[in-house]
Every structure is written in structure tokens, then in C-alpha cells.
A and B are shown apart, each in its own frame.
Chain A
Amino acid sequence: MKWLEKIGKWVLNGASASGDYAILNAQTFKYFFKRPFDIKNLFKQMERIGVNSLPVVLITALFTGMVLALQTYAGFKRFQAESMVGALVGIALSRELAPVLTGLMVAGRIGSSIAAEIGTMRVTEQIDALEVMGVDPVHYLFVPRVLAGTLMLPLLVGLADLIGIYGGHFLVVNLFHENPYLYMKNVYQYTETWDVVSGLIKSFAFGYIIASVGCYKGLRTRGGAEGVGRATTEAVVLASLTILIADFFLSKLLF
């Protein structure tokens, strides 16, 4: 009985949390179009989410591209298809690896920092202060972060595509001494526009998930500094899981 009760409670909590998250999202959407538009804050968040994530994202992409080329080269060599490495790197990166890995890295870096920031504001009553001054925290805090996340992640993923493909190129040319022209020709020949575009479409969703989950977990923080720590961890875990699940369904939908 005890554990049945526990499961029941867990399911109910999950359901009410998703409802809460959905409502906050609806409010965020409503406020996208409401004055005052906080352009300055939007740019600040774009810098924080986009520009400041560049090093992490680029290093991730570079090494992913390289390891992809390294592994597939060995495999493809067994049936004399080394030249196809470029095609595989291009397709795998643009459709799947660049969006998902970038999403996960940014979730770790930005999702957590948004949750910690807003969570700290919650436990130090800064959120209450906003409410008292007649400013809806969803409008003031959520909107610029969610917009910035949604806009910046595709840009990061676009760069990750390029860097990853270059990483594969670098490895194939310098380690395996293959023809550099052939690699790029393969990339161009087999990677279709839709591969890249669908990856970018997914990354819009991932950017939205990262920022909105971070905001949600932050706003619902309870219980002092410890609560902020918990909210931070939960934001990363929840955003990462949601990204992986959404990735599956979006991929199914888009191809």
C-alpha cells in the first residue's frame, strides 16, 4: 500500500507540475507581444546565451566531428568506402549530433545558470519585490530569456555544423592523408539542404526548452540556498531529458 500511495502521489505531482509549466508557457507567449518591450535585456540575454556559449559549443562540435570521422573511417575502410566519411559526417552532424549535443551543452551551461539566477531571486524575495512593484516576473524575466534562447540556439547549431564538418575534414586530411577535395565534395553531394534545415528547426525547440525549463525551475524554487541548488540540478536534468525526448519526436515528424 505504502509504495502504491507513493506512486500515486508522484504521478499527481508530475501532472500538476506539467500543468503549471504549461500555464507559465502560455503566459510567456502572451507577453511576447506586450509592452514594454525590453530590447536591452533581450540583447543582454542573447549575449549571455549565444556569445558566451560559443567556446563550449565549438569545442564540442570540433571534437565530435573529428571522432565521427575517426570512427567511421576505420569502419568504412573495411569495404573501401573511405571517401564516404564526408557524407556521413555531414549528415550525422547536421541532422542529429550538432543540434542534440549543442542542446545538451547549453542546457548544462545556461539552463542551470538561468535556474540559479531566478531561484536566487525567488529565495531573496526579489521576485516578490517585482510583484509588489506591479511587474509580472514572467514578463520581465521569462520573455527575454526564452526569446534569446530560442533565437540563439539555431545560430550556435549552424556554427557547430560548420566546425564539426571542418573537424572531420581536418582529421581525414591530416591523419589519414586523404584527398581534401573528395571529403568536401562528399559533404556537399550527400548533405541536403533539408538535413541542415531540419536540424536548425529542432534547435529552435531545444533553445526554447532550455530557457523555459530554467525559468520555470527557478521561479518555483523553494527553501533557501539549498533549494536553489536543487532547482539548478533539476533544471539541467529536466531540460536534457526533454531535449532527448523532443528530439525523437521531432525527428520522426520532420523526416
Chain B
Amino acid sequence: MSLIRLENIYKSFGQKKVLDGLNLEIEKGESLVILGGSGTGKSVLLKHIIGLLKPDKGKVFIEGKDATNLSRKEWYEIRKKFGMAFQEAALFDFMNVYENVAFPLRRHTNYTEKQIEKRVLECLELVGLSGNEKLMPSELSGGMRRRAGFARAIALNPEILLFDEPTTGLDPILTDQIDNVINDLRNSLDVTCVTITHDMVSAFDIADKIAMLYQGKIIFKGTPEEFMKSELEVIKKFLKGRICEEKTN
């Protein structure tokens, strides 16, 4: 049984079809990278996995259970299994780094202040941000902000980590750093990772499976080697570095 299964998902915003009969299975323990051009609906796909968006048609299964029509409350329960790192980190800009990472702990555990501190420092250490607890999000560089977002995402020991374009807009050196952090997290935490990107290099750095989103469907899922050898025209183009932009329909 796969950990997450999306079955025949359709989603439109107004006239715009974004997901168009999408199927995807994510196995426990794998590190899946979902590739796709910008504006093809990668974030929308991720938001379906975590229940922030509901499909117009189709079903979402989490650990075999149909989660499509669960209430907000039931989703809040399920989401405790998840950690999500947003595209621009989405740190709370009225809290410093420490409080940002402590936030989920304060809301969902009965930890004492001591235990919270221990866990926060642990998480910051894991993403290489020790010593920056007191900084406000606005004082962080792009790469640091993302890593602080990672720290917040792992605070509650999630089983599944979702990364939305963790390296977009970063220079190659920072991209490399972030990829390493993701790999480290994966090795030390034993989690399932789903990473969204349109960056081929980081895809090969962190994936053990690659999926390709194109025109609202997953047109390919396989190992990086299979991806390289794929005969699909879109993938060949993508490999040549030509990003397939969204098709205007």
C-alpha cells in the first residue's frame, strides 16, 4: 500500500484547468521529486496532498484512507504527520527564528520551556542555523530563510516532508547547500520526502524517484536513470534545459 495516492484528480480555477486527471502514488520512505515547468500546477498538486485544496473530482488517499472529503478538523489531525516547507519559507514575520521553530511545539505538545528549547536548538542544528535564533525573518538571507522553514517543518518529527521549490531563486552554491540539507534531513530522520522543483540539477541530487508533471497529468514516474533514458518528447526537451512553460488554454 502506498503512503499517498492521488487518484484521477481534476482541479480548475475558473476557466483554467490546472490538474487534469492526475494519478500519482508515493511510497513510504522514498524521496520523490516532482518536476514541471513554472505555472504547471506543482504547488497546486502539493496542496492537494496536504488538504489545503480540495479536488473538483478524484480522490486523495493517505495511508490507504480516503481523505478527500474530510473536515478541516480531521485534516488538522492528519497534517501532524506532515511537515511542509514553503516556496518562500512562509516564516511568521512577527516572530524571530526561535519562536518560529517553537511555534508548532507550543501549539501541539505539552513540552516545558526547557524541552522546547532543546528541540528548537536541535532542529536549527540539523539545518545548520545554530546561533541565529534571535534573528527576525527579514534579517535572513534567502537560503537561511528556507533552512529556518525546514527547521520549523521538522520540529514535530513528521513522517512526510514536503518541499515546495526549495531552491528556486537561489544561486548554484546555495542550491547545493540546500540540496545537502535535504539529503541530511532525509538520512537522519528516516522520512518520506516529496520535493517540487523545476531545477534538474537538484532533482538528481535528492531524488530516488522522479515524476514529471505536464499539462495537468503525471506523464512519467521512475528512477533518475529511467528518467534520463526516457523516450518521451517532453522529457527530452526538459533534459535539454528547455523548461516547458504553462500552456495557455
Contact = CB atoms under 8 A, between A and B. Distances in A.
A95 to B, nearest CB: 38
B80 A128 contact: no
Contacts of B72: 136
Nearest to B100: A129
A129 B107 CA distance: 13
Contacts of A136: 72, 76
Interface in A106-139: 120-121, 124-126, 128-129, 131-136
B176 to A, nearest CB: 25
B90 A124 contact: yes
Interface in B100-131: 103-104, 107-108
Contacts, number: 47
A133 B156 CA distance: 9
A125 B88 contact: yes
Contacts of A126: 90-93
Nearest to A127: B90
Interface residues of B, number: 22
Given A36-B107, A125-B87, A131 B93 contact: no
A132 B82 contact: yes
Given A134-B107, A134-B108, A135-B107, A129 B92 contact: yes
Contacts of A129: 84, 86, 90-92, 152
A132 B107 CA distance: 12
B48 interface: no
Contacts of B91: 126, 129
B88 A132 contact: no
Contacts of B92: 121, 126, 129
Given A134-B76, A134-B79, A134-B80, A128 B86 contact: yes
B77 interface: yes
B52 interface: yes
Contacts of B103: 133
B50 interface: yes
Given A36-B107, A124-B88, A125-B88, A132 B93 contact: no
B104 to A, nearest CB: 5
Contacts of A135: 107
B108 A132 contact: no
Nearest to A138: B72
Contacts of B93: 120-121, 124, 126
A135 B75 CA distance: 11
A136 B73 CA distance: 9
Contacts of B152: 129
15 contacts: A36-B107, A124-B88, A124-B93, A125-B86, A125-B90, A128-B86, A129-B90, A129-B152, A132-B79, A132-B82, A132-B84, A133-B108, A134-B77, A134-B79, A134-B104
Given A126-B90, A129-B84, A134-B76, 10 more contacts: A36-B107, A121-B93, A124-B93, A125-B87, A125-B90, A132-B52, A133-B103, A133-B104, A134-B79, A135-B107
Interface of A: 36, 120-121, 124-126, 128-129, 131-136
